[in-house]
Amino acid sequence: MRRKSVVAYALCGAMVMSMVPAFSAAAADTKKVAMISDTSISDGGWGMATYNAMVDAAKECGWDTMYSDSIAQSAYYDTIVSYCDLGVDMIYAPGNQYSDAVLQAADEYPDIAFALLNGAEDTPAKAKNGNVSSLLPDATEIGYIAGALAGLMSNSGKIAFIGGMELDTTLKKYNGYKDAAAYVAEQEGKTVETLDPVYSGDFSASDKGIEFAKAMMDQGADVFFGDASAVDSGARQAIDDANKAAGAINVFDIAQPSDLLGQNECIIGSQVTDNAGLLKLSMQAVEDGSFGGETLYGTLENGVLSAGKLNTDVVPEDVQKKYEDYIAQIKDGTFMGGEASTEAATEAE
């Protein structure tokens, strides 16, 4: 039964004013996708990257887009319902934290597709109407891509990871990062330790990123990787300030999920995720009536994941070549002597 509350209608009216169509003069039968986000789409990190992915995929498929950003957890469900009542064809939720709200709404709106980016592998099976799909970049492989570079570049022997929330995907990124850095460091004749991860509990708390980065630099960390959107931006600010005070770039950051080289002086490379590719597959499935009930994985092999450009002013030429070789090993399955395990590989077995 569809839930139509006073709160939902109030939200609906407010959101109509902020909807951002990807195109003008859309045909009456143009399909529509609506994104909800608990962080800003202009945060320079996760929010911006996932919003741009929606716009890019929609442009290619000829869909219109809408969004609501910086929403509180308590408003996830009501915001989704408001868009459902507006008659969108797909709800796009970029994070596992939206799973409960997505599943609740999916049960009540069987004719709407729900694409859950970074949703758990078992989430689609929980939707009784079969109208939920998880779009899942291989989180462990993401960690490998960043960890290989961290293992090569760390001089102090300590690296750091900052998360927004302790999600399954975030933990997989951390573990992949830690394992890859340790392995690569060993191959290079040194030791690299990953500090325990820290979590802000809020993807928008850039001040937490500043606080965390300062504390972890005090512990000796000289390479950072994160999964925390605006919190990552705060960490980079603190790192840039520390490097400026030192008169040299001695502490590095690896960005994600898009190529952010040049955004901050401390960024030496990026882990890049083509979420638009995953979302495009979902839109095509809606169009041909095959959407729902599956998990779509993104990997280096299928081109959804890649390593971004390296800062050649900071990363030595020999390290650039070694990193390229390690990325090739991750892609062809020979990394860590062929014993590296990712979600996509496990699913294939």
Q: Domain extents for the chain?
A: 6-137+275-298, 139-272+316-348
Residue range 139-272+316-348 forms a domain whose CATH class is alpha beta
Give which of 87, 120, 97 is closest to 36, Cα–Cα.
Answer: 97
Answer whether CATH 3.40.50.280 is correct for domain 6-137+275-298: no
C-alpha distance from residue 221 to each of 33, 75, 99, 157, 186 (Å)? 41, 37, 34, 8, 18
Q: Label residue 138 by pLDDT band (50, 70, 90).
A: very high
**Helices assigned H by DSSP within the chain:** 6-16, 46-61, 76-85, 99-108, 123-126, 139-153, 168-187, 206-218, 230-246, 275-288, 317-332, 343-348
pLDDT in tens, 200-225: 998 889 999 999 999 999 999 999 99
Give which of 72, 39, 97, 69 is closest to 233, Cα–Cα.
Answer: 39
Per-residue pLDDT, averaged over 298-303, amounts to 90
Give which of 117, 118, 114, 90 is closest to 104, Cα–Cα.
Answer: 114
For residues 341 and 128, the model is more confident at: 128
pLDDT value at position 15? Answer: 43
For residues 112 and 303, the model is more confident at: 112
Find the helix or strand (DSSP H, E) in which 17 lies: none
Q: Label residue 146 by pLDDT band (50, 70, 90).
A: very high
C-alpha distance from residue 179 to each of 11, 14, 186, 307 (Å)? 44, 46, 11, 17
Lowest mean pLDDT among 154-163, 250-259, 317-326: 250-259
Q: Is the pLDDT of residue 109 over 90?
A: yes
Cα(89)–Cα(33) distance, integer angstroms = 6
The predicted model scores a pTM of: 0.74
Tokens of 84: 């459902």
